């Protein structure tokens, strides 16, 4: 009985959901990499704003993210994070001003990317230069850079493919939203499983095996690197945001992954072996028509 007094309900602090808790709930069905990226971005812009993002109007958040980075692509991702926080409740739709900002950033991002690609492409790199760079990295004991270069050259892959978690048991490899580098001792081989890459929706999971007997240097480099590392591009700890800077630092100055592809395509073109082109197509997850287009037109956006 209340004896005429109001009944008080006490809510424990642990039962009150914070803004970030609600964001996590909203992303429950998203891929782990997607969740990790949004949470990292949330923490950065929340810190810059100095208060919960639901307290920051659209016009203000645009100014805040503009001060955080000059990259329009990063600004777009930051604004998308703000949008998820503010419009994640059922029944809410993204308002037109927000959609307009996103569209404007996409356009600026495309223009900025074209400029950066032109600046970066001082000249195409040759296979001999790539192999020499790899040899230098191996001799210097910089196995992370060696492995990155090796996989770009052997798998003809994109940067995203190299977001690899290092595991030692076959049972730890799943067909989910993670890419894996499996280091096996029996048989002695490296197995790369790519679940997440640009055209995975069309080409499915890609699995590539490198036996120690075929390339002992690569196998040993992975063994040494995996001694103290669990991720090819670094331990994430929930703060992993962009893989590109790590990869670009591993390549020869001014180079990017598309140059590695074109260097190999040039060799194939000059040799005239269609089987090599089919092999690259299968490993990269790209059509042969797209590969030929990529060779003939520098930095053309893929598929």
Q: pLDDT per residue over 30-85, tens digit each?
A: 767 677 778 888 999 999 999 999 999 999 999 999 998 888 878 888 898 898 88
Q: How far apart are CA 146 and CA 139, in angstroms?
A: 9
pLDDT interval class at 120 (50, 70, 90): low
pLDDT number for residue 1 = 45
Q: Are residues 34 and 135 in the same domain?
A: no
Inter-CA distances, 120 with 75, 256, 257, 274, Å: 21, 8, 11, 30
Q: Residue 165: beta bridge partners?
A: 180, 231
Last residue of a domain, one of 120, 135, 168: 120
Residues 138 and 115 in one domain: no
Instruction: Kindly state whether residues 58 and 82 are assigned to the same domain.
Output: yes
Q: Which domain holds residue 205?
A: 127-254
Residue at 62 is within a domain = yes
pLDDT in tens, 121-157: 545 788 899 999 999 999 989 999 999 999 999 998 8
Q: What is the 3-state secondary structure (H, E, C) of 31-100?
A: CHHHHHHHHHHHHHHHHHHCCCHHHCCHHHHHHHHHHHCCCHHHHHHHHHHHHHHHCCCCCCCCCHHHHH
Contact 195, 32 (CB under 8 A): no
pLDDT of the residue at 240 = 39
Q: Does residue 139 share a domain with residue 113?
A: no
Greatest mean pLDDT among 143-147, 269-273, 286-290 lies in 143-147
pLDDT of residue 223: 95
In a domain, 55, yes or no: yes
Structure tokens at 252: 């020869």
Of residues 194, 200, 158, the one with CA closest to residue 178: 194
**Shared domain check, 149 and 94:** no
pLDDT value of residue 301: 39
Last residue of a domain, one of 67, 92, 120: 120
- Give the confidence band of 2 by pLDDT, cuts at 50, 70, 90: very low
Looking at the fold, whether 100 and 160 belong to one and the same domain comes out as no
22: Cβ contacts below 8 Å, ≥ 6 apart: 85, 88
Are residue 208 and residue 142 in the same domain, yes or no?
yes
Domain membership of residue 61 (yes or no) is yes
Q: Is the pLDDT of residue 214 over 70?
A: yes
**Residue 70 included in any domain:** yes
Are 65 and 136 part of one and the same domain?
Answer: no
- Residue 171 carries which DSSP code? G
Give, to the nearest 10 degrees, the angle between helix 19-26 and helix 72-86. 100
Q: Which of 67, 88, 120 is a domain's end point?
A: 120
Do 268 and 280 form a contact (C-beta atoms < 8 A)?
A: yes
The answer to whether 228 and 209 are in contact (CB under 8 A) is no
Query: Do 145 and 114 share a domain, yes or no?
Result: no
**Mean pLDDT, the chain, integer:** 81
d(CA 84, CA 86): 6
Q: Are 73 and 245 in contact (CB under 8 A)?
A: no
In this structure, the answer to whether residues 197 and 242 fall within a common structural domain is yes
Q: Is 285 contained in some domain?
A: no
Which H or E run contains 35?
helix 32-49
Do 115 and 131 sit in the same domain of this protein?
no
Structural domains counted in the chain = 2
To which residue do tokens 């197995």 refer?
Answer: 191
- pTM for the model stands at 0.60
In a domain, 292, yes or no: no
Residue 299 has pLDDT above 50, yes or no: no
pLDDT of residue 36: 78
User: With bands split at pLDDT 50, 70 and 90, how would you rate the model's confidence at 273?
Assistant: confident
pLDDT confidence of residue 297: 47
- Separation CA 145–CA 260 (nearest Å): 14
Q: Which of 144, 205, 148 is nearest to 173 (CA)?
A: 205
- pLDDT score at 167: 95
Residue 267 lies in a domain: no
């Amino acid at each position: 009985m209340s004896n005429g007094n109001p009944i008080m309900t006490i809510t424990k602090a642990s039962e009150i959901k914070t803004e970030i808790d609600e964001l996590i709930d909203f992303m429950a069905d998203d891929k782990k990499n997607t969740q990790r990226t949004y949470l990292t971005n949330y923490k950065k812009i929340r810190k810059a704003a100095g208060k919960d993002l639901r307290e920051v109007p659209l016009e203000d958040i645009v100014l805040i993210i503009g001060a955080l980075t000059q990259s329009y692509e990063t600004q777009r991702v930051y604004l998308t994070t703000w949008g998820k926080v503010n419009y994640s409740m059922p029944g809410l739709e993204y308002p037109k001003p927000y959609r307009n900002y996103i569209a404007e950033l996409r356009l600026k991002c495309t223009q900025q990317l074209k400029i950066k690609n032109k600046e970066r492409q001082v000249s195409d790199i040759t296979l001999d230069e790539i192999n020499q760079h790899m040899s230098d990295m191996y001799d210097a004991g910089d196995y992370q850079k060696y492995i990155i270069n090796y996989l770009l050259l052997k798998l003809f892959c994109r940067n995203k493919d190299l977001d690899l978690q290092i595991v030692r048991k076959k049972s730890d490899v799943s067909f989910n939203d993670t890419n894996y580098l499996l280091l096996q001792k029996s048989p002695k081989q490296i197995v790369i499983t790519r679940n997440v890459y640009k055209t995975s929706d069309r080409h499915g999971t890609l699995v590539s095996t490198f036996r120690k007997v075929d390339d002992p240097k690569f196998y040993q480099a992975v063994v040494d690197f995996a001694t103290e590392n669990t991720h090819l591009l670094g331990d994430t700890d929930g703060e992993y945001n962009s893989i590109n800077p790590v990869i670009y630092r591993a390549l020869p100055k001014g180079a990017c992954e598309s140059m590695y592809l074109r260097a190999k395509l040039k060799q194939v073109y000059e040799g005239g072996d269609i089987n090599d082109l089919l092999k690259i197509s299968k490993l990269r997850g790209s059509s042969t028509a797209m590969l030929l287009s990529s060779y003939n037109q520098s930095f053309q956006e893929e598929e």
